[in-house]
Amino acid sequence: MQLIAMVVASPNPVRNEKILAIDLPMIDLSADRSEVGKLIVRACEEYGFFKVINHGVPEGVIAEMEQESVNFFEKPLAEKQRAGPANPFGYGCKNIGFNGDMGEVEFLLLHTNPLSIAQRSKSISNDPSKFGSAMNNYIRAVRELACEILDLMAEGLWVRDPSYFSKMIRDVENDSFFRINHYPSCCNNNTTRVGFGEHSDPQILTILRSNDVGGLQISPDHGVWIPVAPDSAAFCVNVGDVLQAMTNGRFVSVRHRALSYSSQSRMSMAYFGAPALQARVSAPPEMVTTNRPSLYRPFTWAEYKATAYSLSLGDNRLDLFINCKDDDHKKLLD
């Protein structure tokens, strides 16, 4: 990764300094399969984040979903509120905060189950079947991409069953979510604020894309924020907490946040691939060795999700699932 500049965490509003972005590892999925697997593994161990090109998600599928999202956020507030409040699904507009991070974002949070999409589309769009089909097509394509990446990870890690990770999000009962965030532009005072406060994603894998407005920052080290350059031609992929647990801590679920710039509006779409609620999360045998004993106790996604959702943004949730039998294990995480 080429480091150009870093910013240190600061309270909202964030100082309007000149922020130069970094180049996350960019992985071409059409390259030689075993090379791609190795590059992905290295990126997940070092940064927990990488970008992919030649990803196979058709341009038309992306464009339709983006257009439906723009149409929704352009509606008057009263109309958008018909799709809310988000508890947890629907339209939300909330300030999320940790350490002084006050969020400024409006969003749609949806379950990816086709029945749920059909139901929700009615309050989101005047043409529910158009919204529903745009979303179903998008979800189908990004889920395929997520599964392909998870298979490449398993191969790169020499896990005997290459579908060990991907079968969890292929499960018909998977609990994957889709979130569209809109950080509106406002006023003319050129301020930068935290739009979505510091957190890690609880799920397995996140597949994110945004328009050409920057805002995503990652924090591989406590207190240091590194901006990620926007790139509408690529998908940004990040490791979630469950994948950190399933790789026995080899992959890192890195904290991130999104800034919003008052002068430009940012829109991002994130697919969060998650297991079924009752699925048991545990590392495959190849990830556990005498040198690297089991770091986390087995848990179900329902159990982990409940813990994650009960804590504040910014809390380190995976720490609560560390195997406490041997304190030496914890050192592996440092």
Residue positions annotated with a catalytic role:
266
Gap between the Cα atoms of 72 and 75, Å rounded: 6
* Minimal distance, residue 203 CB to ligand GA4, in Å: 6
**Which of residues 261 and 272 has its CB atom nearest to ligand GA4 in the complex?**
272
Shortest Å, Cβ 308 to ligand GA4 = 5
Closest C-alpha among 4, 175, 166 to residue 89: 175
Cα 2 to Cα 70: distance, rounded to the nearest angstrom: 33
Sign of the C-alpha dihedral computed for residues 320, 324, 328 and 329 taken in this order: negative
Exactly one of 143, 179, 255, 257 binds ligand GA4 (CB under 6 A); that residue is 179
Check binding of 201 to ligand GA4 (CB under 6 A). Answer: yes
Distance CA 242, CA 91 (A): 26
Which has the closest alpha carbon to 17: 7, 26, 9?
7
Query: Least CB distance from residue 141 to ligand GA4, whole Å?
Result: 20
Q: 134 in the Ramachandran plot: left (φ > 0), alpha (ψ -120 to 50) or beta?
A: alpha
Residues 53-92, mask of contacts with ligand GA4 (x by CB under 6 A)? -----------------------------------x----
- Nearer to ligand GA4 by Cβ, of 88 and 298: the residue is 88
Q: Which of 55, 182, 199, 329 binds ligand GA4 (CB under 6 A)?
A: 199
Count of CB atoms situated within 10 Å of the CB of 65: 24
CB of 109 to ligand GA4, least distance (A): 6
The residue whose two tokens read 């894998």 is 205
Cβ at position 281, least distance to ligand GA4 in Å: 15
Size of the site for ligand GA4 (CB under 6 A): 12
Distance between CA atoms of residues 199 and 219, nearest Å = 10
Cβ at position 61, least distance to ligand GA4 in Å: 22
Sole binder of ligand GA4 in the list 131, 271, 272, 301 (CB under 6 A): 272
What phi and psi values does residue 169 have, to the nearest 5 degrees? Answer: -90, -10
Q: Where are the beta strands (DSSP E) in 58-143?
A: 90-94, 105-111
Residue numbers 292-331 binding ligand GA4 by CB under 6 A: 308-309, 312-313
Beta strands 177-183 and 266-273 are antiparallel
Site for ligand GA4 in 90-119 (CB under 6 A): 109
* Chain centroid to CA 271: 7
- Which C-beta is closer to ligand GA4: that of 305 or that of 329? 305
Q: Does 242 bind ligand GA4 (CB under 6 A)?
A: no
Select the span of 117-125, 198-206, 224-232, 254-262 touching ligand GA4 (CB under 6 A): 198-206
Complex with ligand GA4: residue 39 or 149, whichever CB lies closer: 149
For the CB of residue 131, give the shortest distance to ligand GA4 in the complex, in Å.
20
- Maximal C-alpha separation, the chain: 59
Q: In what order do the strands lie in the sheet with 224-227?
A: 7-8, 224-227, 216-219, 255-261, 192-199
Nearer to ligand GA4, 54 or 278 (CB): 278
Task: Decide if 25 contacts 47 (C-beta within 8 A).
Answer: yes
Q: Is 252 exposed, middle or buried (0-12, 13-18, 19+ CB in 10 A)?
A: buried
Tell which one of 89, 164, 177, 299 touches ligand GA4 (CB under 6 A). Answer: 177
Tell me the residue nearest to ligand GA4 as measured from the CB: 313
Residues that bind ligand GA4 (CB under 6 A): 88, 109, 177, 179, 199, 201-202, 272, 308-309, 312-313
